[in-house]
């Protein structure tokens, strides 16, 4: 059973399009995250939700909008895609926010490789 | 400001030899420290963490890490490397007193184990 799943695995699209990436976790965790990993493998957090509430919102363009319909799902919608959005996007979850328990490890999905042409 | 550094972009080790992947950190309070591994085309996997207690922490796949407060380091080690250990390794840190709910990630170190 996949703990954290993302769809699609690969996404190739044209500049200017709008696309969504879906994430689901079956671990019963309360907190979910979106990360962006660039071509140099640098990992940057974008958003974090705890029980469907936004708790981390790093400086990302407002073309990126996360949506959490329930605590098992955190989707990422991207408007007006740009070349620089090309990256691998990882979803992750943890039992609680790091700020509460302080030490909860995160479980990562397999990633979505987004290529903007 | 919190930060974490992985000074080596790549580490090459012969199979069977001990390996070390370095990590140093900077926080104003007590650190929570983590190591994750990323295999090619996969998501990150948790290896081990230091929160408090013994400075030597044991984790998955035979890895261990030693917390050294005076040197602000948390180097990852394994006594005998396997070819299957070849992957990208990330160190991460969080300040215990920081109210932000996020980890600060290192840039990653590519570990190559040669047969």
- Encode pLDDT of A30-89 as tens digits: 889 999 999 888 899 898 888 888 877 777 889 999 999 998 999 999 999 999 999 999
Enumerate residues 6 to 65 of chain A having a beta carbon within 8 A of any beta carbon in chain B.
31, 40-45, 48, 50, 55-56, 58
CB-based contact B51 A90, cutoff 8 Å = no
Residue B39 has pLDDT above 60, yes or no: yes
In three-state secondary structure terms, A68 is strand
Give the integer Cα–Cα distance in Å for A115 and A10: 8
Chain B's closest residue to A40, CA to CA, is: B107
Whether A114 and chain B come into contact, CB under 8 Å, resolves to no
Give the integer Cα–Cα distance in Å for B46 and B76: 13
Chain A's closest residue to B107, CA to CA, is: A42
Beta strand B56-58 with B64-68: parallel, antiparallel or unpaired?
antiparallel
For residue B32, list chain A residues with Cβ-Cβ distance below 8 A: 98, 102-103
Residue A59 neighbours by CB under 8 Å, 6+ apart: none
Whether A102 and chain B come into contact, CB under 8 Å, resolves to yes
CB-based contact B101 A98, cutoff 8 Å = yes
3-state helix, strand, coil in chain B (%, to 5): 5, 50, 45
CB neighbour burial string for A59-92, b if at least 16 within 10 angstroms, e if fewer: ebeeebebebeebbbbbbebeebeeebbbbbbbb
Residue A12 has pLDDT above 90, yes or no: yes
Burial class for B45, CB neighbours closer than 10 Å (0-12, 13-18, 19+):
middle
pLDDT tens across B58-104, in order? 999 999 999 999 999 999 999 999 999 999 999 999 888 776 667 88
CB-based contact B43 A56, cutoff 8 Å = no
The Cα-based distances of B108 to A44, A92, B11, B67 in angstroms read 12, 18, 11, 18
Residue A102 has pLDDT above 80, yes or no: no
Out of B96, B101, B108, the one facing A97 most closely (by C-beta) is: B101
What number of other Cβ atoms are within 10 A of residue B108's Cβ?
Answer: 24
Give the integer Cα–Cα distance in Å for A45 and B102: 8
Q: Whose structure tokens read 């990590």?
A: B23
pLDDT for B23: 98
Residue A55 neighbours by CB under 8 Å, 6+ apart: A31, A48, A49, A97, A99, B101
For residue A103, list chain B residues with Cβ-Cβ distance below 8 A: 32, 49, 51
**CA quadruple A45, B61, B56, A31: dihedral positive or negative?**
positive
């Amino acid at each position: 059973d996949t703990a954290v799943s993302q769809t699609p695995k690969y996404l190739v699209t044209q500049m200017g399009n709008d696309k969504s990436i879906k994430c689901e976790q079956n671990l019963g965790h309360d907190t979910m995250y979106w990360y962006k990993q660039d071509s140099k493998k640098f990992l940057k957090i974008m958003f974090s939700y705890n029980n469907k509430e936004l708790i981390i919102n790093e400086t990302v363009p407002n073309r990126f909008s996360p949506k959490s319909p329930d605590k098992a799902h955190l989707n990422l919608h991207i408007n007006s895609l740009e070349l620089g959005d090309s990256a691998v996007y990882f979803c992750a979850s943890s039992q609680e926010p790091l700020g509460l328990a302080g030490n909860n490890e995160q479980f990562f999905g397999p990633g979505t490789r987004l290529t903007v042409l | 400001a919190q930060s974490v550094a992985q000074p080596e972009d790549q580490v090459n080790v012969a199979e069977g030899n001990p390996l070390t992947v370095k990590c140093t950190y900077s926080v104003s309070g007590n650190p929570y420290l983590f190591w994750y591994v990323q295999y090619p085309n996969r998501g990150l996997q948790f290896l081990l963490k230091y929160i408090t207690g013994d400075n030597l922490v044991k984790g998955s796949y035979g890895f261990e890490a030693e917390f050294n407060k005076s040197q602000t380091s948390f180097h990852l080690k394994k006594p005998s490397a396997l070819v299957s250990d070849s992957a990208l390794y990330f160190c991460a840190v969080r300040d215990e007193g920081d109210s932000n709910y996020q980890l600060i990630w290192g840039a990653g170190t590519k570990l190559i184990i040669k047969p």
